[in-house]
Amino acid sequence: MITYKIIVKDASGNNVGEFEKFRNLKFGKKLNNFGECSFEVPANDSKVSQLIALRVYSVWIYREGTLLWAGEQAIRQGDLDDRGDNWATIVCYDWLEQLNSRYTVAEQIYTFQSGSDIVWDLIDQTQQDTNGDLGITQGTLEESTWREKTYTNQNIMDAIVNLANLLDGFDFQINNSKVFSISNFIGIDRSDTIVLEYGTNVKSVRITEDFSKPSTRAIILGQTDEVTDQVRLERNDATQQTAYGLREYTQSVMEVSEVATLEATGDAVLRKYGSPLLKVSVDIVRSTTPTIEDFSLGDIIRVKIKSGIYNIDENFRVFEWTVSYDTDNTETLSLVLGNFYTEVFS
């Protein structure tokens, strides 16, 4: 029997209580973006109502005593019927999402600074505002590519994500204890030890090869210091165009950037959307199937699926994970995987 606990804490980190009865628990994390959690609780339970305070209370999810996820309550949705089988769905976001409600000042200029320093200054400045402390603390900040940036009323979460997602950007994370860290590459090559193999440690699997947003030409719209009007910059992947034809993808960069940053934005688009992403969902067999306690975001794992039309035996990087758990004691692990990481290990 797998044991999950959902603990509730207030804004000061004090324990408020525990959701003892819940169903349809689903939670996950994304590399360089925020993750989400949802679960259902009885709507008619008076104790449950005392554990819900949107944007005030947080939830902390433990599996077998190990903390896997933490974040802030954001949405409550009730489903009521005439039979009294009434449930409320609670949706929570992890700590990064709090920065989605913060913006820079009217003009914030960074003249040739490390991207890591820019990001932490954005966080530090907004937390110094009146009632602005989110409790995010500084962890290890590896130096990253130097940038010139001018932000004008820029959403801070978007600014951080955009810098990270450049081809020569970085990886970042806010852990469950709200410590913010930056690394040039988050993750470990675990492909020798973490293998998801259909028919061996995976009994059932759903496979989705997602090529819904193909891009062999990235069109980046932005502004540089040299040109006040909007500029259009194109980046092409000749090899992929030969294979898939011309497939265009447009992205706008809101802040003022140097040309090199716009080029890196386009190159990152080509890398992400130039080939299919692999999405797999597997039912976890206890003591057989690797779980999210065995690996983390950014890690390299191996996937082997050889059956019928499928002949997959490759290493992939974990860009997103989601765990689903229900009261019948079943767990499902869903992963979004990509194989554009080889330059880090070359």
pLDDT tens per residue, range 133-190: 999 999 999 999 999 999 999 999 999 999 999 988 999 999 999 999 999 999 999 9
Using the predicted structure, report yes or no on whether residue 345 has a pLDDT greater than 60: no
Question: Whose CA is closest to 185, among 31, 14, 294?
Answer: 31
The CB density around residue 333, as the number of other CB atoms within 10 Å, is 20
The CB density around residue 220, as the number of other CB atoms within 10 Å, is 24
| Neighbouring residues of 131: CB distance < 8 A, sequence distance ≥ 6 | none
Question: Any idea which of 17-26, 76-85, 232-241, 274-283 has the lowest mean pLDDT?
Answer: 76-85
Task: State the greatest distance between any 2 C-alpha atoms of the chain, in Å, as a whole number.
Answer: 67
Q: What is the band of 208 on the pLDDT scale with cuts at 50, 70, 90?
A: very high
Query: How many angstroms separate the CA atoms of 238 and 251, rounded?
Result: 19
* 147 burial type by CB count under 10 A (0-12 exposed, 13-18 middle, 19+ buried): buried
Tracing tokens 């009885």 back to the chain, one arrives at 42
Residue pair 74/92 in contact by the 8 Å Cβ criterion: yes
Task: Check residue 205 and give its pLDDT.
Answer: 94
Task: Check residue 63 and give its pLDDT.
Answer: 95
**To 10 degrees, the CA torsion angle through 27, 136, 96, 149?**
-160
Q: What is the band of 122 on the pLDDT scale with cuts at 50, 70, 90?
A: very high
Q: For a pLDDT cut of 90, what percent of the chain falls above it? A: 80
Task: Check residue 343 and give its pLDDT.
Answer: 54
Question: Any idea which of 55-64, 88-97, 337-346 has the lowest mean pLDDT?
Answer: 337-346
* 297 burial type by CB count under 10 A (0-12 exposed, 13-18 middle, 19+ buried): buried
Dihedral pair phi/psi, residue 18, rounded to 5°: -145, 135
First and final C-alpha spacing in the chain: 43
Residue pair 322/284 in contact by the 8 Å Cβ criterion: no
Average pLDDT, the chain: 93
| Amino acid at position 82, single letter | D
Q: What is the pLDDT of residues 139-152, one digit of tens each?
A: 999 999 999 999 99
Using the predicted structure, report yes or no on whether residue 265 has a pLDDT greater than 80: yes
